[in-house]
Amino acid sequence: MVPLVVQFVERTLRPESELSFGRNAELSLDSDNTYLHRVAGRFRLVGEIWWLENVGSRLRLKMVASDGSVIDLHAGASSPILGQSGIVNLVAGPTRYEIGYWLEEEQKSARADTVQGTAVGAETVTYGTKLTPRELDFVVVLAQARLTGRGGPLPSHTDIADTWGVSAKTVDNTLQRLRSKLRTKSVRFLDSSETLVEYLVSQGLVTITDLEWAALDQPDGPRPAAARPETGNLDLS
């Protein structure tokens, strides 16, 4: 597990497994602002991954990573934290709050695990999950901007379908089955495409190597995952 550091004004905290923030929470942002929920949000460790949860009823949280990735969390939504560092923005009434976060790099680089034959950082945990060739074909398109660091909106199911010459319904059904498979592995909060991509990338289930193999932007691309030599990411049975 990679330790998380949270900073607000002059306070620096290192939660062990959970840290709530709000008007009257473990991290008090402003005890006098009645527009602010008593508990507006929470950083929480799920397995080996830190998540941000919006536990309020009406306020939105905006998470902005240092690489420019952005996720807006409405009430009740959750997401793995983006990148190695970033800021959580919260507006309550006339006041804007910014909470900084980062992962302790020295802890991350201190050890490396080998998961399914691929060397990954200490924060990576896959729960034994493997992507089927079709799942990998679809998610490598979905995660292309995240893997290249370009940012921007994710492709629609129709865009993914057009890439592979299938129907949007096929893409939708495949990704829904993938979410169900991940939920059975004790992974939650993956309803949005953004959180699904962040989870798959952070866990090493789809990588820049997969993207390079797919050759999406090449004249002879895309190459189907089913044709790829067997690797730790694929279940070719």
Domain ranges of the chain: 4-105, 112-227
Q: The pTM is what?
A: 0.49
Vertex 79 angle, CA 163 and 166, to 5°: 15
Q: Which of 30, 45, 117 is nearest to 78 (CA)?
A: 45
Q: Which tokens hold the place of 72?
A: 């807006």
The residue assigned the tokens 């079709």 is 134
Confidence category of residue 39, pLDDT binned at 50, 70, 90:
very high
CATH assignment, 4-105? 2.60.200.20
Mean pLDDT of the region 200-229: 83
Write down the pLDDT at residue 125. 32
Q: Who wins on pLDDT, 156 or 193?
A: 156
Mean pLDDT of the chain: 80
Q: Is the pLDDT of residue 222 over 70?
A: yes
Q: Is the pLDDT of residue 236 over 50?
A: no
Residue partners of 218: CB distance under 8 A and separation at least 6: none
Confidence category of residue 105, pLDDT binned at 50, 70, 90:
low
Up-side HSE of residue 232: CA atoms within 13 Å toward CB? 15
Q: Which tokens hold the place of 103?
A: 């992962």
Confidence category of residue 94, pLDDT binned at 50, 70, 90:
confident
Distance CA 196, CA 203 (A): 11
